[in-house]
Each structure stands twice: as C-alpha cells, then as structure tokens.
C-alpha cells in the first residue's frame, strides 16, 4: 500500500507545530520570592536578600535567582544554605563574602535541593575581623 506524500507532510507539520510551544508552558515558573536577612547592630549591621523560586514538581527544591549582601563597616558577611551534604551543614551561595561596608550582588541561578523532611534554610553569617564574634540570621525558604 502506498501512502500519499501530502498526508505524511501534514503529519510532520502538525508534529512540528505542536512541539513549537515554549517548554515553559509545561512547567510554569513560580513567583520569585524574597527572603530578607539581618544580623548585628550599629557598625556591625549586616543585611542580605535572597531571591528564589520553587522548582515546579520537585520536592524540597528551589532555584536561587540572586543574592545581595551589604556587610557592616567592621565585618565580613556571607550567605549560605543548609546543605545536608555540606562539611559543616552549610554551603555558600556566593563566591566571596562582602566585607567592610561594601555590597555584593550575585546571580547564581542554581537549584538547591534537600531530601524530603529537611527544611531548606538560608543563613546570613557575619564576623568581626580578628574576633570570634559572629552574628547570624537564619530564615526558612
């Protein structure tokens, strides 16, 4: 039995047209959510904001869109997440700390995930240079 080329071409075009829909239509991005962190006072006042979105269909997974930090004048500050596989239970979300009153902004665009039942958290940690004093703020994602 011989097939006409026209129905075969129509089938190919219909398949291509159906596949031309954007991939995001199947998995819409969730809203971008902020987490504000604050630690210390006066010249040791450190702040950070983490922007993230939930990963659609994934359990306990979020995409970190951006991290911004402003350290206190006398501190170095960084943001980390509670990585269940991290050496001390935390892994940094930025490539370097913000120090001595400067600001730092990065867009890691990474997905962090943890096993079900392990609540995802972010932490702003700041320390006084040359001291054991550490300021921390921890928030759930």
pLDDT higher than threshold 70 for residue 57:
yes
| Residue the block writes with tokens 């089938």 | 11
φ, ψ at 14 (rounded to 5°): -65, -40
Contact between 72 and 106 under an 8 Å Cβ cutoff? The reply is no
pLDDT at 29: 60
Instruction: Name 72's Cβ contacts closer than 8 Å, sequence gap at least 6.
Output: 40, 42, 43, 44, 45, 46, 101, 126
pLDDT at 12: 38
Provide the residue range defining the domain that includes 126.
28-140
Report the pLDDT averaged over residues 87-104. Answer: 94
Residue 95 located in a structural domain: yes
- Domain CATH code at residue 113: 2.60.40
* Two structure tokens written together for 139: 């928030």
Residue 3 located in a structural domain: no
Which is it for the CA torsion 129, 134, 137, 141, positive or negative? positive
Neighbours of 51 (CB within 10 A): 15
Question: What are the tens digits of pLDDT across the range 114-126?
Answer: 998 999 999 999 9
Residue 18 located in a structural domain: no
Question: What are the tens digits of pLDDT across the range 1-54?
Answer: 444 444 444 433 343 343 433 333 344 567 999 999 999 999 999 999 999 999
Q: How many domains does the chain have?
A: 1
Residue 113 located in a structural domain: yes
**Could you tell me the pTM of the whole model?**
0.76
């Amino acid at each position: 039995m011989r097939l006409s080329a026209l129905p075969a071409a129509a089938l190919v075009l219909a398949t291509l047209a159906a596949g031309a829909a954007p991939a995001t239509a199947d998995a819409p991005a969730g809203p971008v959510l902020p987490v504000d962190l604050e630690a210390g006072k006066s010249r040791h006042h450190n702040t950070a904001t983490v922007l993230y979105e939930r990963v659609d269909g994934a359990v306990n997974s979020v995409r970190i869109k951006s991290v911004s930090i402003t350290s206190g004048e006398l501190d170095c500050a960084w943001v980390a997440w509670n990585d269940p596989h991290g050496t001390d239970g935390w892994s940094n979300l930025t490539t370097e700390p913000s120090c001595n009153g400067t600001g730092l902004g990065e867009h890691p665009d990474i997905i962090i995930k943890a096993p079900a039942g392990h609540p995802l958290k972010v932490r702003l940690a700041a320390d006084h240079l040359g001291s054991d004093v550490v300021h921390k703020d921890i928030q759930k994602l």
